[in-house]
Amino acid sequence: GLYSDIDNWPMDIFTEEKIPSNVSAFFFHDAYNRPTQHFMALEPNHPMLDMSMKIIIQNILNMERVSSPKVVFVTGPNALKWGYFTFLSSKCCNGILTTAKVFENDVVLEGFLGKTVLKARGLDDYVVGKLFFNDIVPYNATLNVTRQQRITMDSGVKHWQAEVKKQAKSETTPNESCKDYLQGLSSGKISESEKFS
């Protein structure tokens, strides 16, 4: 399947030929040379995503303060990066594993279960984020807003950074480790009114 953030816009140059048929997973690279989290194409049940999810679960359980998650590292692009690394580390590169080799671009690499991945250059040529988001569009009969404002108003979805800042200022946000918080929930020490929301 293919995953893309809702604010991505595929350019006309992006055709099915861009993703080779001999790879089981395809990514572009982001500014830090990680596989893109906001655009990816993988065959169903790909082991790289399974490994990434296990890393994310461990990251969440090991959080020292649930009130201030480092989202990029806990569930975001860095977690996917380490899932990618783990996937390739079992079989990649003729037994000579280096971070530089694993994170090469435009090279088909073989990983766990013989599955192949490609991390390609050229993201900005093929997928553009937030294209047309500053265009003025009608919200109702009397109000015009930018397309980005309209999406936020209609969906109620806020950017994760805004939510983290809001939660950090909240007096009801727990300031404890994830494991302690979950233990409190299961033991009844944390009541319904105290639940993290």
10 Å CB burial of residue 13 (0-12, 13-18, 19+) is exposed
Blockwise average pLDDT, block size 10, the chain, 197 residues: 91 93 96 94 96 96 87 94 90 71 89 94 91 94 94 84 71 78 85 61
Q: What is the pLDDT at residue 192?
A: 59
> For the chain, what percent of residues have pLDDT higher than 90?
59
The DSSP code sequence of 139-184 is SSSS-EEEHHHHHHHHH----HHHHHHHHHH-TTS--S-HHHHHHH
For residue 1, give both structure tokens: 């399947």
Q: What is the pTM of this model?
A: 0.81
Backbone region of residue 101 per phi and psi (left: phi > 0; alpha: psi in -120 to 50; beta: other values): alpha
Q: What is the pLDDT at residue 7?
A: 87
